[in-house]
């Protein structure tokens, strides 16, 4: 395909909104889905934690995206595969009930559903590799800094839509169209999401540019032998671990999001839990509406401000303020868990909205530094596969604490949401420590506009 250019505003928002939807559905929204189908918080956190695995191990096939075909081809192809995978998940819901199991169902539909979940997660992780690599190839470093806030904003908008919009849609279908059938409501919600991905794949096939730099590493993949491909595959790993300060960088990628990894697993169950259990007792539709309204304002403002600050002052100047901002998500839920505002009242709604806006602003602003650092560390000939390795360490840092979050809250902290959110606040000490250690090794000019 001949090299083409498109205005970044035409494809960055849709690309990163599409990147965020399957990730948030598989790892966060499924937590709500499973608990509504009768699972305990501990079991649901464990299962969804294992579904994080494709994002952790994606470096093992990430170099293939560098070596074979273009990032544009991989991006569009994986979007088609995600659409098919989500449709398969929808058609294998729900969990079998006790009566069905007693009748001798030979294969649990839950096991089959989890299989398609994992396949969809694998395709989504591959899509992340390709789309992130495409972003770095299609933009220069100044554009990358400028649009990193827009990129993270629309990625987070997908998260908000998943945690808010999808949950609200499922709640509406359950009450008004499916006669209270939770599984059927989620089935149709997921089918709609699959249809959305089919449309997105057509859009990106048309609108994504074809930058001249988007080519397989080492030349045309069709002309490479198995030995050459294997050599380049191994070379991408070796060169990553030969980078300066690699151990410190890995530690940063594992611990920067330690508090968030635990909060995201239990924030929505907290909002949905009864007031007697320490939650806010909100309905599924109310939670979806709360996340899908003013939260987007906080997210958008935080992401845009983060991108503007980074493109003017550079990563090294802004990494500390952004790291400190990430603690605000813990503060927001500490306020809610202590005040337990009644969402049915006007004052309760205002309190919930303000705290969620604060949380989303903190994410939009604070996550900017993390994304820029991964791009900074991945720079080089194998930037796509090296960035995939970075995001895999990030995923591991989200997966392990997330898997343990339910157990920590129920067993270690007396099943108390208040104690849990204070514990998460204390975990920010790890974030601040690794930020202080890594900051002095960052090039002061990286990400800043040239004077």
| Confidence band for 83, pLDDT divided at 50, 70 and 90 | very high
Report the C-alpha gap between 337 and 330 in whole angstroms: 11
Q: In the structure encoding, which two tokens stand for residue 226, read together?
A: 């198995």
How many Cα atoms are found within 13 Å in the side-chain-facing hemisphere of 356? 27
* pLDDT recorded at residue 163: 77
Higher pLDDT, 447 or 407: 407
Higher pLDDT, 178 or 96: 178
Report the C-alpha gap between 192 and 83 in whole angstroms: 10
Report the C-alpha gap between 207 and 175 in whole angstroms: 39
pTM: 0.68
* pLDDT recorded at residue 307: 81
Whether the per-residue pLDDT at 274 is higher than 60: the answer is yes
Under a CB-based contact definition with an 8 Å cutoff, are residues 334 and 418 in contact? yes
User: 8-215+236-439 maps to which CATH number?
Assistant: 1.20.1250.20
Q: In the structure encoding, which two tokens stand for residue 268, read together?
A: 């929505």
Under a CB-based contact definition with an 8 Å cutoff, are residues 84 and 69 in contact? no
Q: Is the peptide bond before 94 cis (omega within 30 degrees of 0)?
A: yes
CA end-to-end span of the chain, whole Å?
Answer: 36
- Is residue 330 within a helix (H) or strand (E), and if so which, with residue range? helix 328-339
Under a CB-based contact definition with an 8 Å cutoff, are residues 95 and 183 in contact? yes
Report the C-alpha gap between 83 and 11 in whole angstroms: 19
| Confidence band for 255, pLDDT divided at 50, 70 and 90 | very high
C-alpha separations of 3 from 138, 318, 346, 421 in Å: 11, 35, 55, 50
Whether the per-residue pLDDT at 284 is higher than 80: the answer is no
Whether the per-residue pLDDT at 248 is higher than 90: the answer is yes
Whether the per-residue pLDDT at 302 is higher than 60: the answer is yes
Under a CB-based contact definition with an 8 Å cutoff, are residues 315 and 379 in contact? no
Whether the per-residue pLDDT at 224 is higher than 70: the answer is no
* pLDDT recorded at residue 187: 92
| Confidence band for 233, pLDDT divided at 50, 70 and 90 | low
Under a CB-based contact definition with an 8 Å cutoff, are residues 322 and 368 in contact? yes
Whether the per-residue pLDDT at 324 is higher than 60: the answer is yes
Helix (H, G, I), strand (E, B) or coil at 39: coil
Mean pLDDT of 302-309: 84
Report the C-alpha gap between 55 and 395 in whole angstroms: 6
Whether the per-residue pLDDT at 108 is higher than 70: the answer is no
Under a CB-based contact definition with an 8 Å cutoff, are residues 30 and 232 in contact? no
Backbone angles phi, psi at 282, to 5 degrees: -80, 155
| Confidence band for 351, pLDDT divided at 50, 70 and 90 | very high
Report the C-alpha gap between 208 and 313 in whole angstroms: 30
Report the C-alpha gap between 135 and 111 in whole angstroms: 36
Select, from the ranges 110-119, 134-143, 194-203, 361-370, the one with the highest average predicted confidence (pLDDT): 194-203
Higher pLDDT, 70 or 216: 70
**Helical H runs in 211-257?**
226-241, 246-255
Domain layout of the chain by residue ranges: 8-215+236-439
Mean residue pLDDT of the chain comes to: 84
Mean pLDDT of 325-333: 88
> What letters, b where the CB count within 10 A reaches 16 and e where it falls short, cover 412-424?
ebeeebbbbbbbb
Report the C-alpha gap between 369 and 318 in whole angstroms: 7
Q: What is the pLDDT of residues 390-436, one digit of tens each?
A: 888 988 898 889 888 989 998 899 999 999 999 999 999 999 999 99
Q: In the structure encoding, which two tokens stand for residue 123, read together?
A: 């395709």
Q: 């809610």: which residue's tokens?
A: 336
Q: How far is CA 319 from the centre of its chain?
A: 20
């Amino acid at each position: 395909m001949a090299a083409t250019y498109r205005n970044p505003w035409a494809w960055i928002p849709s690309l990163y909104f599409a990147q965020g939807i399957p990730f948030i559905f598989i790892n966060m929204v499924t937590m709500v889905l499973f608990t509504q189908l009768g699972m305990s918080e501990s079991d649901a956190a464990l299962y969804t934690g294992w579904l994080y695995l494709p994002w952790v191990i994606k470096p093992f096939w990430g170099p293939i995206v560098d070596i074979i075909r273009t990032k544009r081809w991989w991006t569009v192809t994986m979007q088609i595969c995600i659409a098919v995978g989500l449709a398969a998940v929808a058609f294998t819901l729900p969990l079998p009930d006790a009566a069905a199991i007693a009748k001798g169902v030979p294969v649990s539909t839950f096991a089959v559903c989890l299989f398609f979940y994992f396949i969809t997660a694998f395709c989504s992780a591959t899509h992340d590799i390709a789309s992130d690599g495409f972003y770095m190839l299609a933009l220069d470093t100044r554009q990358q800094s400028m649009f990193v806030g827009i990129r993270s904003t629309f990625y987070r908008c997908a998260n908000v839509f998943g945690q808010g919009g999808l949950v609200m849609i499922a709640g509406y279908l359950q009450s008004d169209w499916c006669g209270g059938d939770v599984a059927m409501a989620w089935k149709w919600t997921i089918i709609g999401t699959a249809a959305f991905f089919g449309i997105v794949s057509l859009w990106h096939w048309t609108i994504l540019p074809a930058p001249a730099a988007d080519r397989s590493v080492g030349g045309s993949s069709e002309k490479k032998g198995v030995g050459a491909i294997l050599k380049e595959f191994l070379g991408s790993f070796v060169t990553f671990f030969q980078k300066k300060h690699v151990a410190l960088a890995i530690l940063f990628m594992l611990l920067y999001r330690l508090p968030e990894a635990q909060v995201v697993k239990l924030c929505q169950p907290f909002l949905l839990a009864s007031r007697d259990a320490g939650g806010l007792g909100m309905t599924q539709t109310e939670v979806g509406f709360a996340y899908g309204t003013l939260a987007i304002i906080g997210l958008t403002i935080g992401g845009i401000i983060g991108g503007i600050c980074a493109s003017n002052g550079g990563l090294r100047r802004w990494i500390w303020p952004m790291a400190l901002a990430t603690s605000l998500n813990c503060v927001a839920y500490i306020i809610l868990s202590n005040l337990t505002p009644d969402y049915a009242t006007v004052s309760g709604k205002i309190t919930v909205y303000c705290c969620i806006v604060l949380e989303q602003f903190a994410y939009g602003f604070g996550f900017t530094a993390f994304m820029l650092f991964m791009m900074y560390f991945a720079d080089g000939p194998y930037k796509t596969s090296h960035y995939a390795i970075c995001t895999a360490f990030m995923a591991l840092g989200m997966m392990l604490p997330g898997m343990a979050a339910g157990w920590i809250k129920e067993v270690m902290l007396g099943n108390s949401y208040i104690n849990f959110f204070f514990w998460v606040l204390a975990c920010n000490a790890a974030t601040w420590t690794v930020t202080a250690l890594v900051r002095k090794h960052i090039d002061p000019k990286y990400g800043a506009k040239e004077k």
